[in-house]
Amino acid sequence: MVSRRDMVGMLGGALTAGAVARVNAESAPQPAPQRPSGRGAAHTGHVPVRSLNGWTLPHRINNGVKEFHLVAEEIDHEFAPGCTAKCWGYNGTTPGPTIEAVEGDRLRIFVTNRLPEHTSIHWHGILLPSGMDGVGGLSQPHIKPGETYAYEFTLVQHGTHMYHPHADEMVQLAVGMMGMFVIHPNEPDEVPVDRDYCLLLHNWALRPGTYRPDPSIMVDFDLWTFNSKVFPAIEPLLARTGERVRIRMGNLSMWNHPLHLHGVQYVVTGSDGGRWPRAQWRSEVTEVVAVGQTRDIEFVAVPGDWAFHCHMSHHTMNAMGHGIPNTLGVDQAEVARQIGKLVPGYMAMGETGMAEHTAMHMQGPANTLPMMTGVGPFGPLEMGGMFTVVKVRDDLAPGDYADPGWYPNPSGSVARRVSDNPDFGNPPRRGRKA
Ligand SMILES: [Cu+2]
């Protein structure tokens, strides 16, 4: 960790507190790195981070500097089979590829703008010189269409960070421009992890039947995503029983998201501020990742298929109408009969609940996912959006990320039906005669 006071001396690009004096003495505006960059994360025993449904940006070493190249551009993005949209991202994807580096690395990041309007990149949470902070108009001129800018700075911290434009943000974030920026510590972890996942939380106003996210929307979104995918297109998170798993979560959406994991008490261990001192770790089963924040959670994997999702229940749904009358408990048979004369196949919705509103029953507008979807080993999962499954198996090889299918529950360990009579057992019910 470095203090703000250390930083004042280090902004010129020194690597550690111990190097501050040396840099001050040399007064070098762009000092060379203390040692060459370019060691992989493996150098310090850290497993490479795995971006769900995503990828890590390759780099090259140029004179001891790690060089990355991001290209801002329009892309065709698939949220899940059956729903694609024109989005903006980096190097062909939203989110853009994860940038992964090690504390102490000197970086040069080229940013080429292939968008129809200007952009910039802000390195969110990263300690760097003011002129590298990427706020268009404040810290630099905007990057005009066709131009390439170079950002250059030395990493003086570790942690889970993000990158995003600081230019026409309302539009550029709303259509998918964002990425993760993971910095590993420059020394081995006291408590190493075996699997290191990362994902970005986001929301999209992709109105049913349309193909471009609407940037003007502030609260009323249709799609809620982990790394720009909705369930069931979100990859499961795999682990072998007993492995220590970290999930790094960043939030560049317009809502806060309480992320809930079944099956374990996880420990919240870090954020933009790096891996916290152990005295600050705390056990939770739900952690709010607020807008603009990152959070790391860690747990020791126990066998099973465990739901991992946002606990805002509308955030585990896909497109739905929010302005409709409440039909819960309303007999709509006559209305359905009348409408059915005009619209063959019309089905009244939601008399007993929304469970009927699943993939099996509903054919929505073009390019529009069912509100709830996904099928598990016991039937429809009735989820969408920010939902996936942590799959833990005894026999998974270390580093194996191939989906092992559904959990084979040991015999006798699944909830079972004991009666189909509603009077079964006659338990006490207030206001009812026994
Ligand atoms: Cu949420």
pLDDT of 227-265, one tens digit each? 999 999 999 999 999 999 999 999 999 999 999 999 999
* Distance between Cα 227 and ligand 1 center (Å): 13
**Which domain-ending residue is among 284, 310, 336?**
310
Q: Please check whether residue 287 lies inside any domain of the structure.
A: yes
Instruction: Number of helices (H) and strands (E) in the chain: give both, helices first.
Output: 4, 24
Q: 204 alpha carbon to ligand 1 midpoint, in Å?
A: 12
Q: What angle do CA 153, 154, 156 make, to 5 degrees?
A: 130
Would you say residue 381 lies in a domain?
no
Quick one: 226 and 329 in the same domain? no
Beta bridge partners of residue 159, listed in sequence order: 183
Tell me if 279 is assigned to some domain: yes
Measured CA to CA, the distance from residue 335 to residue 333 in angstroms comes to 6
| 280 and 351 together in one domain | no
- In the reported structure, the alpha carbon of residue 197 is separated from the centroid of ligand 1 by a whole-number distance in angstroms of 18
Q: Give pLDDT, residue 432.
A: 84
Residues 298 and 344 in one domain: no
Q: Are 372 and 358 in contact (CB under 8 A)?
A: yes
86 with 48, same domain: the answer is yes
Note the pLDDT of residue 112: 98
Residue 307 Cα, ligand 1 centroid: separation in angstroms?
A: 14
**CATH code of residue 236:** 2.60.40.420
Element (H, E) at 22: helix 20-26
Domain stops at, among 310, 338, 355? 310
- Residue 273 and residue 242 share a domain: yes
CA–centroid distance, 314 to ligand 1, in Å, is: 8
Q: Domain for residue 276, yes or no?
A: yes
Ligand 1 centroid vs 284 CA: distance in angstroms?
17
Residue 215 lies in a domain: yes
Residue 155 counted as domain residue: yes
Q: How far is the CA of 249 from the centre of ligand 1 (A)?
A: 12
What is the tens place of the pLDDT at every residue in 188-231?
A: 888 999 999 999 999 999 998 899 999 999 888 999 999 999 99
- Count other Cβ atoms within 10 Å, centred on residue 409: 13
What is the Cα 367 distance to its own chain's centre? 23
The per-residue pLDDT for 358 is 53
Say yes or no: 232 and 353 in one domain: no
pTM: 0.84
Output the pLDDT for position 9: 35
Separation of 157 CA from ligand 1 center, angstroms?
A: 29
Q: How many structural domains does the chain have? A: 2
pLDDT tens across the length of the chain (434 residues): 344 333 333 333 333 333 333 333 333 334 444 444 444 545 577 899 999 999 999 999 999 999 999 999 999 999 999 999 999 999 999 999 999 999 999 999 999 999 999 999 999 999 999 999 999 999 999 999 999 999 999 999 999 999 999 999 999 999 999 999 999 999 988 899 999 999 999 999 999 889 999 999 988 899 999 999 999 999 999 999 999 999 999 999 999 999 999 999 999 999 999 999 999 999 999 999 999 999 999 999 999 999 999 999 999 988 865 555 666 677 777 777 777 777 666 656 666 666 655 544 456 788 888 888 888 999 998 889 999 999 999 999 988 999 999 999 999 999 999 999 999 999 999 998 76
> Which pLDDT score is estimated for 344?
66
Q: For residue range 47-82, what is the model confidence (pLDDT) as tens digits?
A: 999 999 999 999 999 999 999 999 999 999 999 999
Give yes or no: residues 273 and 199 share one domain: yes
Ligand 1 centroid to Cα of residue 253, in Å, is: 9
166 CA distance to ligand 1 centroid (A)? Answer: 24
How far apart (Å, rounded) are the C-alpha atoms in residues 394 and 219? Answer: 42
Find the helix or strand (DSSP H, E) in which 342 lies: helix 333-342
Tell me the CA–centroid distance for residue 218 and ligand 1, in Å. Answer: 14
Q: Is residue 420 part of a domain?
A: no
276 and 347 housed in the same domain: no
182 CA → ligand 1 middle, Å = 22
Q: How many angstroms is it from 255 CA to the middle of ligand 1?
A: 7
Question: What is the Å distance from ligand 1's center to 318 Cα?
Answer: 12
Distance 75 CA to ligand 1 centre (A): 25
DSSP state of 119: B
198 and 300 housed in the same domain:
yes
Report CA(123)–ligand 1 centroid distance (Å): 24
The verdict on 300 and 200 lying in the same domain is yes
* 205 CA distance to ligand 1 middle (Å): 14
Q: Are residues 180 and 70 in the same domain?
A: yes
The pLDDT score that the predictor gives to residue 105 is 97
Domain extent for 352: 324-367
417 domain-assigned:
no
pLDDT score recorded for residue 319? 80
Distance 315 CA to ligand 1 centre (A): 5
For residue 222, give the amino acid letter: D
Residue 153 sits in the same domain as residue 237: yes
Q: How far is the CA of 266 from the centre of ligand 1 (A)?
A: 18
Q: What is the rounded CA–CA span in Å between residue 17 and residue 19?
A: 5
